[in-house]
Structure 1
Amino acid sequence: MNPYVEVKHVSKQYAGADTAAALQEVNFTLNPGQVLGLLGHNGAGKSTLIKALLGAHRFQGEIAILGLDPIQQRDKVMENLAYISDVNVLPQWMTVQQLLRYTAGVHPKFNLEKANAVLSKTNIQARSKIQSLSKGMQVQLHLALVIATDTKVLILDEPTLGLDLIYRDTFYRHLLEWFHDGQRCLIIASHEVAEIEHLLTDVLILKQGKVVLQQSIADVEQGYFVLEAPSTLADQIAPYQPLASEPGLGTTRWLLAAQCLPQVQTLGRIYTVKLADLFLALQKENN
């Protein structure tokens, strides 16, 4: 089976920009079943990459979504690709029922019965105007539309930003139920690394337009570890070039590469690395 998403040597330099390129030589592929975490601080290049995937602007390099060019064949691409962001894009003047009927009329794969089935598990009423719904309800409604279109590729850009814990939990629960019900892949861009870590199969971390980490989550867990040891051992641990350190009460937690484990494992307690810790370390490195 061919990859659902192929990104080859993608770069982007905005016209008239005096700064470095917004993206530099990004490469990755996604197959059905993969969930990619796209991470990076503001200005790292996440939005630029997402816009390129959506065919919203031109770029250098190659992108294929289900074998299709996102710019030249955008209409075909959008039949199998969906996008949910933190910015509400639903028509506020419509009722929920009107939006469902409209979508059924314009999207060839939209299943009205499935959309209604998803919404029946929420407090969203068909006669409610979209503008009267809370942000959490509008995100639920948007996800219901996506679920009902049998989308193959879904891009989420800070989808739960500003939502309370209940809506976040509901959103991700419905998302996972839908994801495992077919052949799909996801790209999730988020600042809430700890919130999405358990969903991911792969991670791509950007910094100033460059890829600073691109691995499977399994490789991340095997490639790094955290050592908690007495702070007095700092000089002994320094030669192993820890990526980060966090002082505590008499001890320090060092983030180290896996090849250092045999030399330091007797010095203290060993912990599995968290993606959030690695993300922060890579963002700070060489600043």
Structure 2
Amino acid sequence: MNALVSVKHVSKQYHRNGEALHDISFELHAGQVLGLLGHNGAGKSTLINALLGAHQYQGSIRINGLEPVTQRDQIMQSLSYISDVNVLPGWMTVAQLLNYTEGVHPSFNRSKADKALKQTDIKPRSRIKTLSKGMKVQLHLAIVIATNTQILILDEPTLGLDLVYRDTFYRHLLEWFHDGERALIIASHEVAEIEHLLTDVLILKHGRPVLQTSMDSISDDYFILDASDEHKDHIATMNPLSSQKGLGTTKWLLSSQYAAQVKALGDVYGVKLADLFLALQKEKA
């Protein structure tokens, strides 16, 4: 099966600010959900803009076999993007936006959009500028759901939304995702919030990949040891990724290669993506 997204040795150099991306490679097939993680300035937005064809880059990117910069109009027939900043025209009503989209997008399914919006509090005659941020995000997703989008890129989509809107957004997103051969990229700071959605993860730091793996591999490759401080010198020789001091004990994030050696030293726990993300961000560059 051909990859829906193929990224090979992609870098991005800015004349004034230097290198923003360095040698990024990955593939996404139908059914995969990639978590694109990293703090501000890590390179997430630069990579997303390259995927969208918004700027030049070094290396190779193919979206459904097409190159983003030179074949952007064709790519946008199967790729959609939702950012944390509202880009919908505020002067339009909801109905006007749906009418416009129906007129310009050949695969837009109006009835599917109407069905999605009926599950919300959004009224057709409401002007978009009067909607709350949560409603705008729901409206944007309803439009995406009503097209033949195969690849969806989300950039901090629930930033600033309350728990109810976040839950509704992800519920509708998953219903859409599992209703076809699709791939999804989610860039977010809310690691714990999206962890259960992901099949794969790419963590960037200063434009470079510091972790690139499947979610299934994380539990196999790392673990947390909660051990008495009397063992700290011995455990420190095992190159722990991080440590968290407690009352008389310390929690250590370790590579699974040391699992047998520390079995008798304390309690062993599974590692969460958020633990790994924080540890890798704190590591010295």
TM-score scaled by length of structure 1: 0.98
1 CA distance for matches of 2:242 and 2:37?
A: 18
SS in 1 for 2:209: strand
Q: Distance in 1 between matches of 2:34 and 2:238?
A: 30
Is 2:181 the counterpart of 1:183?
A: yes
Which amino acid letter does the alignment assign opposite residue 67 of structure 1?
A: G
Matched, 1:49 2:23: no
Residue correspondence of structure 1 range 39-118 to structure 2 within 5 A: 39-118=37-116
Unaligned runs of 5+ in 1: none
Indicate whether 1:272 and 2:270 are aligned: yes
* Equivalent residue in structure 2 for 1:160, among 152, 158, 170: 158
The structural deviation recorded for 1:122 is: 0.4
Deviation of 1:230 after TM superposition, in Å, equals: 1.2
User: Equivalent residue for 1:174?
Assistant: 172
Aligned residue number for residue 10 of structure 2: 10
Aligned-residue offset at 1:183? 0.4
Counterpart in 1 of 2:130?
132
Matches for 1:248-267 after TM superposition, within 5 Å: 248-267=246-265
| d(CA) in 2 for partners of 1:271, 1:170 | 31
What is the aligned-residue RMSD (CA, Å)?
A: 0.7
State the secondary structure of the residue aligned to 1:234.
helix
Match of 1:196 in 2: 194
Gaps of 5+ in 2: none
Q: Deviations over 1:259-283 (max 9, x none)?
A: 0000001111111101011011111
Deviation at 1:133, TM superposition (A): 0.5
Q: Residue 150 of structure 1: CA displacement?
A: 2.2
Question: Can you list the C-alpha shifts for 1:99-140, whole angstroms capped at 9, x where unaligned?
Answer: 001001111111000000000000000000001100000000
Alignment match of 2:144 (pick from 143, 146, 165): 146
**Residue type at the aligned position of 2:6:** E
Structure 1 runs, 4 residues or longer, greater than 6 Å off: none
Q: Measure the CA separation in 1 of the matches of 2:47 and 2:91.
A: 31
- Provide Cα deviations, 1:131-184, integer angstroms capped at 9, x if missing partner: 110000000000000000121000000000000000000000110111011100
| Identity score, percent | 67
Distance 2:58 2:31 in 1: 28
Instruction: Kindly indicate whether residue 245 of structure 2 is the aligned counterpart of residue 229 of structure 1.
Output: no
- Does the CA-based 8 Å contact 2:77-2:148 persist in structure 1? no
Partners of 1:248 and 1:183 in 2: CA distance: 46
